[in-house]
Amino acid sequence: MEDDNNPKTGKTEPPSHPKFVLPGDNLGAEEEFEPGLGSANLDGKIVASVVGEAFPNMTSRVMLVKPAKQDIAKLPEVNDVIIGTVQSAASSIAQVRINAINDIQSTKDLSGMLSMRDDRHRRNSSPIRAGDVVRARVSSTVNSIYHLSLDCEGCGVIFTVCSFCGGRVVALGRGAVKCTECGSTDDRLLSDDFVTYSRTLH
């Protein structure tokens, strides 16, 4: 008799020992797992697509991410830390869609303006790109505009891909990445955890 519980739909009770993950976090390789609810296949890697807890089902080899609790009434306040996806980026400012506030998923359609004027180094081009996932601090809410800054502990790009070929990248220090596929290098203002994770890939 076929089991009615399907881990891809989220009906299976997930195993214990969940791991808190953010969008873009690497959860394994496609040879190890299939993407289930809350995860996706990105160039051969299984990554989280939502803020939540990862439950690898070792029997069915499906990666399930249970979305974190939602606070639909919460609006960003000064010093809150957000997770967001860069929608557009120029040399000194970027527009960011806010996905989570203080690690709690937001269902509101919110966006903020991220300033790179407090960048750690002077640059001629933007240290982030459209599609990057960033961690940032809310520095101001003047005129109901959420002003964001990367000048805080743990802030920076937490997920990105190569701007030239879309391949996987690793950190070259805090300010640049190198593609593992085409070898191109590019500026990025990286978070500490991105740099730490990259070191495990060498």
Supply the DSSP string of 114-161, one letter for each residue. EE-TT-SS--SS-SS-TT-EEEEEEEE-GGG-EEEES-STT-EEEE--
Average pLDDT of the residues in 38-58:
85
User: CB-based burial of residue 172 (10 Å sphere; 0-12 exposed, 13-18 middle, 19+ buried)?
Assistant: middle
* Per-residue pLDDT tens over the stretch 57-114: 888 889 988 877 665 557 899 999 999 999 999 888 899 999 889 888 887 889 999 9
Within 13 A of 63's CA, how many CA atoms are on the CB side? 26
* Per-residue pLDDT tens over the stretch 12-37: 444 445 678 878 888 988 898 998 88
In CATH, the architecture of 19-67 is Beta Barrel (2.40)
The superfamily (CATH) of domain 81-157 is: Nucleic acid-binding proteins (2.40.50.140)
Model pTM greater than 0.75? no
pLDDT over 60 (residue 11): no
Q: How far is residue 65's CA from residue 19's CA, in Å, rounded to a whole number?
A: 9
Domain positions in the chain:
19-67, 81-157, 159-199
Asked if domains 19-67 and 81-157 share a fold, the reply is yes
